[in-house]
Chain A
Amino acid sequence: MTTKMMGEPVARVEDDRLVTGRGRYADDLAPEALEMAVLRSPHAHARIVSIDVDAVLDVAGVHAVYTYEDLEGALAEPLPLLIPHPNLTHGRTQYALAKDEVNYVGEAIAIVIADNRYLAEDAVGLIEVQYEFLPPVVGIDAARAAENLVHDDVPGNVAATMEQSFGDPEADIGGAPHRLTFDLEIERSACMPMEGRGTVARWDPDLKRMSVWSSTQTSTGVRAAVATKLGLDLSQVDVITPDVGGGFGVKIVHPWPEEVLVPMAAKVLGRPVKFTEDRREHFISSAHERGQQQHIDVGFDDDGRILGLSVQFWHDNGAYTPYGLIVPIITSTQLIGPYKLPSYRVVFQSLYTNTVIVTPYRGAGRPQGVFAMERTMDAIAAYLGKDRTEVREVNFIQPDEFPYAHGELSFQDGRPLIYDSGNYPEMMRKAKALVDWDEFEKVRDEARAEGRKVGIGIACYVEGTGVGPYEGGHVQIETSGKVKVSTGLTTQGQGHETAFAQIVADELGVRFEDIQVVTGDTRRSPYSVGTFASRAAVMSGSAVALAARAAKAKALRLAADALEVDVDDLEIVDGIVRVKGAPASQIALGTLAVLSNPLRYAFDEASRAATQFAVGDPTKPPVAEDDEPGLEGKDYYSPMRSTFASGIHIVIVETDPETAEVSILKYAVVHDCGTLINPRIVEGQVHGGVAQGVGGALYERMAYDETGQLQNASFMDFLMPYVTEVPESIEIDHLETPSPLNPLGLKGAGEAGVIPGAAAFASAIEDAENFTITSMPISPSELYALRLSKATDTATERTNT
């Protein structure tokens, strides 16, 4: 009997090549390619008066230099606004190369193509640009004040204002027994994959065909963009995603200027061209996220039950809005978390600043939303003198209340915000058990008696995952019995080759090692959307399951004919179709693949058995009218709406009484992503997310000065956690509440680990220090400053009384 693969911690098939240096990342490809370097704006806001490239033209080894003036057709138009929205009244996108004006340090102005990167960078240094400086707008305060404008034609720096609500929160808050209002803030961080962006392109003049390899989260998106921008038919462009060194959201944005400029240059020059982003470029010309200011107004009863919630927030979208309003929409809707709100209003403004664009970074607006809601829960608990878990529990949606609709709210996919399933009380029970929550008060008191400050923090979240519109799967059984699987979305380390093979092994009844999965190759899967929003397992996992079922149905039908039995009497085990209870009566899937394709020409032993003279009923056409040759299955999965995963994080911290350094004593996670495909991979995703949550809570911020220079644009200065900054261990408990929305009961797992990080740490530091934390990340010096100001406040209060 075939071993069941779903739910097993199978070792990854990707690893053999990756641990031996045989991975193929973008920069590893096409060693013969010319290389591109980019001249980037050194100023945050300026008009371009002139660009002089004369000095570059005669440099040995330089093949071409391009500025905006050299771009033609659609390439001279602004880059696409990928996700338009009716509320995005003032959406703006940049040009592939700046036209007249630059709006952030790092914006691409010119490119040089040379024999190698060294020469290309030398040449970039010879280009002379004259600028007329404009006043930069940096930070949300400056954007809101709007004394200066990022874009002349965008009043108030406001790209969009959006409001959603249900019930009558003003009346409910006004009439509530208790009311609290407060302000919160979260700063910018960024995805920071270890591999930056990278693109290679090769134009074949004989086939008139463009091949592009890009380190992207959407090969089909890049394909459409390249075809559009270069005036090619979609069928002339292939985009292949090689091994990708991490994404975390930044690589879903497309096309990056370089992603269309590299193919353009390859076509013009008739040579392969490559662009490999360096680390400084990644800091100043890719994307950031998180920066928001929030204002909370909440009314609640004596039990801590929220009666009405009104939230206003200001979202820094950077200089342009290629990814629309996705991040703030997610903040505004996912803020609600696992709670029942009788009434809710949220209003946000998405604001321009002269900084790097803001697009989804793992969590994509959720960490900010969870920060707002969980700070609110803690504030209510503190106000009422109640346990923080009790206040959360009294507000939880109960297991028997699913599907649960939050009024008329729309989610990021434009669909109603309806939770499909979950069990939040059970999650809380598990979470409290992991850390012995009820005993912690004693631990804290004992520590305080010793002069130590320890605190425990909690944060709950719900994550909409598996957002549509669709993904496809293709399963082909070869005459060798090997199974080739393709799905169009891409992989950046999630182990899709392994997880999807596990699904197909179970669905089809073939051996795991006989299955080979390909992702992100438009030659194999021309219809696909991409990898984002924790959607790969749900979307492509479901699609390959459906495709495997289609292939299986065909195999059984062929086998039933061949073995002259009823389809229902057959089973497939280890790639052999056999009669249940009479396993000697059997036929291999590979043989069925031969039979499925009636041939005229024999080219090997297997095909000899499939020629027209060898198979088939002579009274019927070789391929039936409603059938097609080959043993394969194809299907698409397109859900009505997202499926909602959930979790609780609890962290115990100790803050140094002298240095205010925060150390992590314990980190516990309860996580519900529905049915698990591979628990080892899911736990790895949680581990990585938690580390990014630690970074976002305690270390990572983008330090812009008032002129818009990013002052910490290197790994020396931007503090990404090393092993020394992450918890020594992460306790994980799973809950598996299957989703009713897809065939396998899956929910997404990719982003979960990072989402409640900032909220949980704020809660824990607040508990250790006994004063309110309203802004994250928090550094030791900031915590120290807070201590001093609280001490001053207390002293002042004493003087006043």
Chain B
Amino acid sequence: MTMSPTTAEPVETIRLRVNGVTHEAQVPPRRLLSDALRHDLGLTGTHVGCEHGVCGACTILVDGQPMRSCLMFAVSAQDYELTTVEGLTRPDGSLGPVQQAFKDCHGLQCGFCTPGFITTITAGIAENPDPDRAEARDMISGNLCRCTGYQNIVASVLRAAEIQREDAQNGDGEEQGR
């Protein structure tokens, strides 16, 4: 551990693997993962809505599992594969299935809670590729949104699963073609 030259606060050099890229940063042990992602790595797509783990806006994927980045320290996230909303586009940069679904279904208004929903649903439909309405509601029941009344977010879950299934079918088709 070294000392930050300006603040005299002890800092650690850490490596975070985010969206397939390894970043190095010097952070104090108390720095929240949400703050490290946003302010040290510049990945501001992850939003902070409450800083006490209730709203879900800061949800990221930690080894594929949705977790609240405001409840983790950056120093303790080094051994994991982290995915933020920025990492959920397709390889060509176009919208990923959940992102596309939110656009198709008007699943967002102000967009502040949206990244947390998108990461949560990404994990949800990976686990359950064909949710019914009740399962879709259950999937998002830990995230707060103040704009949409959730109606179109539920629709977005169903649509995202549909896009993902279409992708899988097309992918299968390609493989069979080869």
B-contacting residues of A (Cβ < 8 Å)? 11-12, 14-16, 18-25, 27-28, 31, 60-61, 115-119, 191-195, 243-246, 248, 278-279, 492-495, 680-681, 683-692, 714-716, 720, 722-724, 726, 728-730, 753
Contacts and interface: CB of A to CB of B under 8 A. Distances in A.
Contacts of B6: 60-61, 115
Given A61-B7, A193-B110, A723-B141, A20 B150 contact: no
A245 B148 contact: no
A195 B137 CA distance: 23
A24 B111 CA distance: 10
B99 interface: yes
Contacts of A25: 44, 47, 112
A722 B141 contact: yes
Contacts of A246: 109-110, 112, 146-147
A474 to B, nearest CB: 25
Given A20-B45, A194-B146, 4 more contacts: A11-B103, A21-B115, A245-B112, A688-B146
A115 B9 CA distance: 11
B88 to A, nearest CB: 8
A19 B118 contact: yes
A618 to B, nearest CB: 52
Interface stretch (B52-60, B73-81, B123-131, B167-175): B52-60
B103 A723 contact: no
B84 A279 contact: no
Contacts of A691: 146, 148-150
Given A20-B95, A60-B8, A730-B149, A15 B47 contact: no
A244 B106 CA distance: 17
A723 B150 contact: yes
A188 B138 CA distance: 29
Contacts of B154: 723
A334 B39 CA distance: 46
A12 B148 CA distance: 14
B108 to A, nearest CB: 6
Contacts of B137: 723-724, 728
Contacts of B106: 11-12, 680-681, 683-684
A31 B37 CA distance: 12
A18 B149 contact: no
Interface of B is mostly: loop
Given A11-B103, A20-B95, A115 B112 contact: no
A195 B49 CA distance: 6
A243 B111 CA distance: 9
A23 B6 CA distance: 31
A495 B109 CA distance: 7
A723 B141 CA distance: 6
Contacts of B28: 118
A15 B108 contact: yes
Interface string B26-64: 001011000100110011111111111011010000000
Q: Most A CB atoms within 10 A — which of B106, B109, B149? A: B149
B24 interface: no
Contact of A11 (B104, B109, B144, B151): B104
A18 B86 CA distance: 10
A567 to B, nearest CB: 40
A676 B150 CA distance: 22
Given A14-B111, A20-B99, A680-B106, A715 B50 contact: yes
Interface of B: 4, 6-9, 28, 30-31, 35, 38-39, 42-52, 54-55, 57, 84-86, 88-89, 95, 99-100, 102-104, 106, 108-115, 118, 133, 137, 140-154
Contact of B110 (A192, A194, A681): A194
Nearest to B40: A31
Contacts of B95: 16, 19-20
A684 B147 CA distance: 8
B113 A194 contact: yes
B47 A279 contact: no
Chain A contact residues, majority secondary structure: loop
A716 B68 CA distance: 15
Contact of A19 (B30, B38, B43, B103): B103
A15 B108 CA distance: 8
B141 A192 contact: no
B52 A714 contact: yes
A194 B145 contact: yes
B150 A279 contact: no
10 tightest Cβ-Cβ pairs between the two chains A and B: A21-B45, A245-B112, A493-B110, A18-B111, A691-B149, A61-B7, A687-B149, A493-B109, A715-B54, A28-B44
B7 A278 contact: no
5 contacts: A20-B85, A194-B147, A279-B50, A722-B142, A722-B143
B113 to A, nearest CB: 5
B111 A720 contact: no
A716 B56 CA distance: 12
Contact of B44 (A16, A21, A248, A685): A21
Contacts of B46: 21
Contacts of A248: 146
Contacts of A715: 49-50, 52, 54-55, 144
Contacts of B88: 20
A193 B50 CA distance: 11
A459 to B, nearest CB: 17
B54 A716 contact: yes
Given A19-B111, A243-B111, A720 B7 contact: no
Contacts of B143: 722
A58 to B, nearest CB: 11
Contacts of A722: 141-144, 150
B46 to A, nearest CB: 7
Nearest to A715: B54
A714 B42 CA distance: 27
A714 B50 contact: yes
Nearest to A117: B35
B40 to A, nearest CB: 9
A223 to B, nearest CB: 22
Contact of A279 (B51, B111, B145): B51
B135 to A, nearest CB: 12
A495 B45 CA distance: 19
Most buried by A among B95, B133, B148: B148
B111 A493 contact: yes
A194 B45 contact: no
